[in-house]
């Protein structure tokens, strides 16, 4: 699946530790091949993020994206606590 990174995502990504950044690249390659690979735990969100989806990057880090014209646009990345306050 084609992917894009929003400006907001890039800013949040830059704040992540190097191991998390490396893990993101592993996970995004998996996502491109199969967005619903079980390891990603891809799921729809509700509440403030209704209409968006999330994938797991690490045990606590999530990347949030939206589908736009068959392209996944990644909106933000962060820990569960940072994203779901």
Task: Compute the average pLDDT of residues 32-47.
Answer: 95
Q: Are 77 and 24 in contact (CB under 8 A)?
A: yes
- Residue 74 included in any domain: yes
Q: What is the DSSP string of 39-81?
A: GG--EE--GGGTT-EEEESSSSEEEEEEEETTEEEEEEEEEHH
How many Å from the N-terminal Cα to the C-terminal Cα in the chain? 29
Provide the pLDDT confidence category of residue 41 given band limits of 50, 70 and 90.
Answer: very high
Can you give the pTM of this predicted structure?
A: 0.93
For residue 12, the enclosing domain spans: 3-80
Query: What is the average pLDDT score of the chain?
Result: 94
CATH code, domain carrying 13: 3.30.2310.20
What domain count does the chain have?
Answer: 1
């Amino acid at each position: 699946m084609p992917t894009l990174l929003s400006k907001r995502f890039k800013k949040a990504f830059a704040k992540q530790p190097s191991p998390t950044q490396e893990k993101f690249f592993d996970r995004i390659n998996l996502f491109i091949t199969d967005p619903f690979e079980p390891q990603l735990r891809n799921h729809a969100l509700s509440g403030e993020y209704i209409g968006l989806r999330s994938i797991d990057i690490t045990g606590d880090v999530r990347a949030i994206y939206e589908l736009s014209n068959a392209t996944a646009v990644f909106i933000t990345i962060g820990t569960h606590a940072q994203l779901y306050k």
